[in-house]
Amino acid sequence: MQRGTKSGAAWISVLSNTILIVVKVAAGILTGSIAILTEAIHSAVDLVASFVALFSVRKADEPADEDHPYGHEKAENVAAGAEAMLILVGAAIVGVEAIRRLGQDNELTDVGVGIAVIAASALVNIIVSAYLSRRARQHESAALEGDAAHLRADAWTSVAVLVGLALVEITGEAAFDSIAALIVAAAIVASGVRLLRRSTSVLMDQVLPDSEMDRIEEAIAASRPPEMAGYHKLRGRKAGARRHVDLHVQFRSGTSLERAHECAHDLRDAIERALENADVLIHVEPEASVRPPGAGDAPHLRHG
């Protein structure tokens, strides 16, 4: 296992979830708490998601090939979508079981043990999710970001379970255990929907954020050669950590093909310096070519 890499971070998530599942199942059986058992189910879903993340980050790092000329980066976004669906499945299991047991007279034992286990689980998830978040930002990894989101949700749901178990201990009313489990299910659903929305936006080739598009245009303005008449059809999208940018650049009459090609390469390099992990494609056109209305020389207009 390599520390500091995307695969290394994914392996840490796998190991932590495996340990937490074993501990939570044991505590759930010992105490008879549905909330603790649903927490174990949540961790089991997260374990599957961690393996999905591990596979996807390895796949995303593979170079482009004949079948995938644009690379494999979107494997991470597909994985994030799969993780979101797994979260929602886990929430359904938790919710159904909590409702089923809400009206039953369930006797809980050794509640103090359950409280200690869930408190330790929350602490572990906070630490591991913080580590995964740092690695996700470092590598711009959608899969690791999804894994970190799972564990943050686990930490918060553990707090809900702690409150429920504490109320059971104080009041002697076992219904608080099922109520806590329902709160857990609601939190899991919210986490899954957010993650699904983010992964879907990338898979649908949503435009890059305005801040990144502005950086592209600033780079063009700063390195714009005198031969350049204007540009249009500036587009940007993201796949995994890779950004794909393309635009049409128009050159003034009399500019040689060699000079236009040289200028296009300079523009490409300027954009790639301004925007990390960017793959830039520039289409060279003569000034007299047909342009969208209003394209002109205005560098702030984005047509496509």
The model's pLDDT over 257-295, given as tens digits with 9 standing for 90+, comes to 999 999 999 999 999 999 888 889 999 999 876 555 444
Domain 210-286 in CATH 3.30.70.1350: yes
Residue 223 burial by CB count (10 A; 0-12/13-18/19+): exposed, middle or buried? middle
pLDDT at 66: 72
The domain 6-203 having CATH identifier 1.20.1510.10: the answer here is yes
pLDDT for 27 equals 81
Cβ-proximal residues to 165 (8 Å cutoff; 6+ apart), any chain: 33, 35, 36, 108, 111, 114, 115, 118, 176, 177, 180
Can 6-203 and 210-286 be said to share one CATH topology?
Answer: no
Please state the domain extents for the chain.
6-203, 210-286
pTM: 0.53
Percent helix, strand and coil across the chain, each to the nearest 5: 65, 10, 25
Q: What is the pLDDT of residue 217?
A: 92
What is the token pair recorded at 104?
């039953």
pLDDT for the residue 280? 92
Per-residue confidence (pLDDT) for residue 247, from 0 to 100: 94
Per-block mean pLDDT, blocks of 10 residues, the chain (304 long): 62 81 82 74 73 71 70 70 75 74 64 79 84 78 72 74 77 75 76 75 74 91 92 85 88 92 93 88 82 44 39
Predicted local distance difference test score (pLDDT) of residue 131 = 83
